[in-house]
Structure 1
């Protein structure tokens, strides 16, 4: 049984953009309420507190965090699918695609488990960091980005011009928010604290840039898959009641119109 799943990059980009807009507005509403609204009853105070806990983009383990972790995981799945297709065609840079899938899986786990946040206080105390380095994880983060850029330079130049440009745009937006604006927010937090309007606006811009960067990257991956990898189908092969195999196959010209899919080489 084949389950054709059609994903339009443009349509999905539009949907995700609306979700990001909604999350950003919900976060801003909660942030502003803490500064300008002062509920008169304990019940209303608890409602306000719970709302902010759920939607403030600068906090962890809430709805915006779940959304970002999910989109990073989706990137990992697409990248793994591309890597599988590249391997089936014996194309170059298979391991670069596979490594990207692992990297984005790790980023998804980190986003949900807030692993990088655990390094902030130990690094800050050990090296007496402040100012732009107040959120001390930006130092190892910047080093990791630099190493990644050097390792993937040839891979990047091997991509089609359109894909290469979108890769760079997505990376600039995401890293600019995650490291650049994060450093600015750290400078402000170090001098003025986090419970003020300016910090809330800076942190909102930071998270917004990260979410937009991922949307651009998802669009890029889907656009690349559609233009250069061919049709993607979900094939379910039920051999028996207790023996079923499910595989996500990339059919890059392997499936002729009205024909049957050729067997994809499998790891032995």
Structure 2
């Protein structure tokens, strides 16, 4: 797979559209938060709240994760000179992203935090207890999949690593930072609606979806390598 690669106009257009959609939804929430802080109003349009499970942002995030899952399965379908092991790893990645998309709506990680919290007390960076197993699983997952990532085109490999770093820092890193803030301010009744907590949530959710979009770019790049006719087809 080590061959010359150049982003096609189609891939760039798709990613640009996704980034515009992501920024629009993210900014809608940010503007609403700023308005609430400045005016002191308690009124909120919940479908614009990115931390609300039934919001447009959560729906968009779920769609992005599901799209990434479908693309991983698609890349594993046909024989492109891949070994059986490589096709299997694409399928494992697809299954992982389906689980992440389900978690976005069903919040499995919060239930894990609840179960762990009943067994032992956590605070500080481990206030949200689900980050503990995540910090164990993520390095293992990375080392198991690193040979697979290296097998891909250099540009695709780097893009996947960047996407993973953005997503993990947003999902786990920012959750740990938010946990520290909550532990230090847990005596405040409005800690979860405070400007600082909302700022941390905005960064966390924003980085998660941005990471998925970067990953989708890597998948589109790999699809163009598997299917060179995509690049050869005349652009409109």
Task: Note the residue ranges of structure 1 that are not aligned, 5 or more in a row.
Answer: 1-5, 40-44, 233-252, 254-268
Larger Rg: 1
Q: Deviations over 1:57-102 (max 9, x none)?
A: 22323211111010000001111110002xx345121100111111
Aligned to 1:222: 220
How high is the TM-score relative to the length of structure 2? Answer: 0.85
Match of 1:76 among 69, 90, 111: 69
Residues 226 and 99 of structure 1, relative CA distance in 2, 3 Å threshold: same
How high is the TM-score relative to the length of structure 1? Answer: 0.76
SS of the equivalent of 2:192 reads coil
Residues 89 and 164 of structure 1, relative CA distance in 2, 3 Å threshold: closer
Q: Is the 8 A contact 2:166 2:207 kept in 1?
A: yes
Rounded Cα–Cα distance in structure 1 between residues aligned with 2:112 and 2:9: 38
Match of 1:138 among 131, 144, 151: 131
Residues 202 and 67 of structure 1, relative CA distance in 2, 3 Å threshold: same
Aligned to 1:127: 120
Q: Deviations over 1:117-169 (max 9, x none)?
A: 11223323422001101111111122221221121121112111111100100
Aligned to 2:198: 200
- RMSD between aligned alpha carbons? 2.0
1:90-101 aligned within 5 A: 91-92=82-83, 93-101=86-94
Aligned length, in residue pairs = 217
Shift of 1:203: 1.0
Higher-strand-fraction structure: 1
Is residue 2:108 matched to residue 1:107?
Answer: no
Shift of 1:7: 8.8
Rounded Cα–Cα distance in structure 2 between residues aligned with 1:178 and 1:205: 10
Q: Is the 8 A contact 2:80 2:226 kept in 1?
A: no
